[in-house]
């Protein structure tokens, strides 16, 4: 190409529009980061002012934080659409021939754009109607909070239309590699769900408003529509069929995120990212090597123990797989561990981070359950999470003996003490977050905010590993996750309201009781249902969709289960789903880090899943494991 042609290409409208989009997106990133930092500072100020004399905390801090969070969630949702970061079950569409794949992906993004248009129109209408209502402390019009909805809708529409013309580029060999496994698991799981719904809910599950709500959601899910959008569009279609005002959906979405406890979720996510980037994961690996490294299969045991420590600090299975896996999987391969086993133990042990506090999924369950104590959920998760870790350690030892996996040399006493002392600040971060809530010093939101600041101080000034570049990367990565989760909660709130309106929970309860009125059998059926659903959908949407349906069933006779107990059972069940094909996010991340095919890692996981299922049954049928710590703390 001649220089004049290059210059002409650089000045072409397409090139200029690309540069404008990049600058625009960078500006949106900056605004979103500012909103997130603002929330952290406002809530931290509120906590510090309570305990330090002479510092005044205005009464409006919580209200301002809510406004900032709604704007953050909606603006961030647009960025999530741009980066295709929203949770979606597109594994089925990825098996289509290239031509059909492009058509379906284009149609999916047009559906997303249409949902964005709805948010613009009815989000603005909601904001307009609430402009005369004010917050009690600040006097700020509530409509200013809801103005974030149409702004986010504009971004969602813009980026969805952009994506419709830019389908993702996929490696055909990679796409087809696990075709048989994906088709069998996905269609088998969906088939069981449809048959189960028909058997329990009756013919109306496939017709009328119930059929529209559930059927449209499942169809969009299978076609790869982002789950939050599928929930929202299914709610809209059902609302139109019922003849209800369309504004109801936006109202219910707004009510779903207008919650002070919800503020804890952004902090937990950001704290986990900062810890992953700032060297805390490495400290926990070193501690685990001191504790269990010299045992046969030591590096695999280090993997499990590190997940207890880091997963418990970050509260995220995916963050744990990413941080621990990038450190330990290469070490395990170098020491002669099988590739598939190295990935499998990393993925399986990461589920401890969902159960051992803190966990943003526990906060999501608390919200979906109508305000179950987050402190009680945190305390209740310790023993079941540790039990899962111990069961995996037993399996690791047996396999290590059979396969000849080596042990690690024991560090000298002086070196061991140095490692343990070096990890104290990292453990202090987790102690602040969990202890503050469990012993009543802070609310969950305040504890998460202080924990985020503590993680920042420890990684930047004590370990000196958190650079400005790493901090920015942590914030941007957190923004995507936060926006995904908050939009999901908003859409699921509208979906759950319609399920209640259509009496789906009571119909399901009657259907289950018609099969059996034995508590043991009912709990077994619910566990099987959760395990099956966990294989075909991600954890957060399942918590939001199923909790309002199943909680009334398990808390009523003949089961009479405590809501906290059921929350832990649900977290374990759905945590297992993160390790299974075809949509297990922890499994995907582990396979990517270990350069291992999903099929190979799944075969290795067959040795680990039974141990985890035994713990699930113990926790389900023996409430003592869940109730003992909350009972001791009181």
Query: Residue 10, class by beta-carbon neighbours within 10 Å (0-12 exposed, 13-18 middle, 19+ buried)?
Result: exposed
Contacts of 581 (CB under 8 A, 6+ apart): 178, 181, 182, 185, 535, 587, 598, 599, 602
Task: Name the phi and psi angles at 80, rounded to 5.
Answer: -65, -40
Q: Confidence class of residue 199 from pLDDT cuts 50, 70 and 90?
A: low
Tokens for 450, please give them: 């202080």
Contact 292, 393 (CB under 8 A): yes
- Please give the full DSSP string across 243-272, using - where no structure is assigned: T--THHHHHHHHHHH--SGGGHHHHHHHHH
Task: Give tens-digit pLDDT for 300-359.
Answer: 999 999 888 876 555 667 777 887 888 889 999 998 999 999 999 999 999 998 898 888
Query: Residue 13, class by beta-carbon neighbours within 10 Å (0-12 exposed, 13-18 middle, 19+ buried)?
Result: exposed
Task: Name the phi and psi angles at 215, rounded to 5.
Answer: -65, -45
Contact 378, 361 (CB under 8 A): no
CB atoms within 10 A of CB 56: 6
Higher pLDDT, 396 or 92: 396
Instruction: Provide the CA 341 distance to its chain's centre, in angstroms.
Output: 25
Task: Give tens-digit pLDDT for 24-49.
Answer: 889 999 999 999 999 888 888 887 88
Taking the C-alpha atoms of residue 593 and residue 589, their distance in angstroms, rounded to an integer, is 6
The pLDDT of residue 568 is 97
Contacts of 367 (CB under 8 A, 6+ apart): 259, 261, 262, 489
Task: Give tens-digit pLDDT for 495-507.
Answer: 989 988 988 888 8
Tokens for 9, please give them: 């290409």
Task: Give the closest residue to 39 by CA, choosing from 469, 445, 492.
Answer: 445
Taking the C-alpha atoms of residue 528 and residue 532, their distance in angstroms, rounded to an integer, is 6
Taking the C-alpha atoms of residue 474 and residue 153, their distance in angstroms, rounded to an integer, is 25
CB atoms within 10 A of CB 414: 8
pTM score, two decimals? 0.84
The pLDDT of residue 45 is 84
CB atoms within 10 A of CB 191: 10
Taking the C-alpha atoms of residue 96 and residue 99, their distance in angstroms, rounded to an integer, is 8
């Amino acid at each position: 190409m001649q220089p004049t042609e290059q210059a002409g290409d650089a000045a072409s409208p397409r090139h200029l529009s690309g540069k404008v989009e990049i600058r625009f997106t960078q500006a949106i990133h900056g605004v979103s980061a500012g909103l997130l930092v603002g929330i952290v500072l406002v809530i931290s100020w509120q906590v510090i002012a309570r305990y330090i004399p002479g510092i005044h905390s205005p009464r409006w801090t919580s209200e301002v934080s809510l406004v900032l969070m709604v704007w953050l969630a909606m603006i961030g949702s647009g960025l999530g659409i741009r980066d295709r970061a929203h949770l979606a079950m597109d594994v089925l569409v990825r098996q289509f021939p290239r031509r059909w794949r492009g058509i379906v992906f284009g149609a999916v993004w047009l559906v997303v754009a249409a949902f964005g248009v709805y948010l613009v129109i009815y989000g603005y209408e909601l904001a307009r109607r609430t402009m005369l209502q004010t917050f009690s402390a600040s006097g700020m019009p509530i409509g200013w909070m809801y103005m974030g909805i149409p702004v986010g809708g504009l971004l969602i529409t813009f980026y969805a239309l952009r994506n419709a013309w830019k389908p993702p580029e996929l490696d055909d060999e990679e796409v087809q590699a696990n075709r048989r496994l994906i088709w069998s698991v996905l269609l088998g799981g969906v088939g069981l769900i449809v048959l189960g719904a028909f058997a329990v809910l009756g013919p109306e599950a496939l017709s009328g408003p119930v059929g529209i709500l559930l059927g449209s959601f499942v169809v969009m899910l299978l076609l790869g529509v982002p789950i939050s959008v599928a929930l929202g569009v299914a709610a809209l279609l059902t609302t139109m069929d019922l003849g209800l005002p369309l504004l109801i959906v936006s109202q219910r979405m707004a009510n779903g995120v207008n919650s002070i406890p919800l503020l804890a979720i952004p902090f937990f996510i950001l704290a986990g990212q900062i810890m992953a980037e700032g060297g805390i994961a490495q400290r926990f690996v070193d501690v685990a090597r001191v504790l269990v490294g010299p045992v046969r299969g030591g590096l695999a045991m280090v993997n499990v123990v590190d997940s207890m420590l880091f997963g418990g600090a970050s509260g995220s299975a995916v963050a744990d797989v990413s941080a621990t896996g990038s450190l330990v999987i290469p070490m395990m391969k170098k020491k002669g561990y099988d590739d598939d086993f190295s990935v499998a133990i990393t993925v399986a042990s990461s589920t401890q981070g969902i159960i051992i506090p803190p966990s943003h999924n526990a906060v999501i369950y608390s919200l979906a359950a109508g305000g179950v104590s987050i402190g009680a959920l945190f305390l209740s998760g310790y023993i079941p999470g540790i039990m899962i870790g111990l069961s995996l350690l037993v399996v690791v030892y047996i396999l290590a003996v059979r396969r000849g996996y080596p042990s690690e040399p024991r560090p000298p006493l002086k070196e061991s003490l140095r490692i343990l002392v070096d990890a104290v600040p990292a453990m202090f971060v987790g102690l602040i977050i969990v202890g503050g809530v469990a012993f009543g010093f802070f609310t969950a939101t305040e504890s998460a905010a202080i924990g985020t600041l503590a993680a920042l101080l420890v990684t930047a000034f004590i370990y000196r590993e958190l650079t400005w570049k790493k901090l920015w990367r942590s914030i941007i990565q957190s923004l995507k996750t936060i926006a995904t989760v908050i939009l999901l909660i908003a859409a699921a709130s509208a979906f759950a309201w319609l399920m209640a309106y259509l009496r789906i929970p009571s119909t399901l309860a009657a259907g289950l009781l018609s099969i059996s009125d034995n508590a043991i059998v009912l709990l077994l059926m619910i566990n099987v249902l959760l395990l099956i659903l966990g294989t075909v959908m991600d954890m957060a949407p399942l918590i939001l969709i199923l909790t309002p349906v199943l909680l009334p069933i398990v808390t009523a006779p003949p089961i009479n289960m405590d809501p906290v107990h059921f929350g832990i059972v649900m977290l374990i069940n759905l945590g297992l789903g993160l390790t299974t094909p075809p949509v297990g996010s922890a499994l995907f991340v582990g396979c990517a880090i270990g350069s291992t095919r999903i099929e190979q890692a799944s075969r290795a996981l067959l040795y680990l899943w039974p141990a985890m299922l035994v713990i699930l049954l113990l926790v389900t049928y023996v409430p003592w494991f869940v109730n003992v710590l909350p009972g001791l703390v009181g």
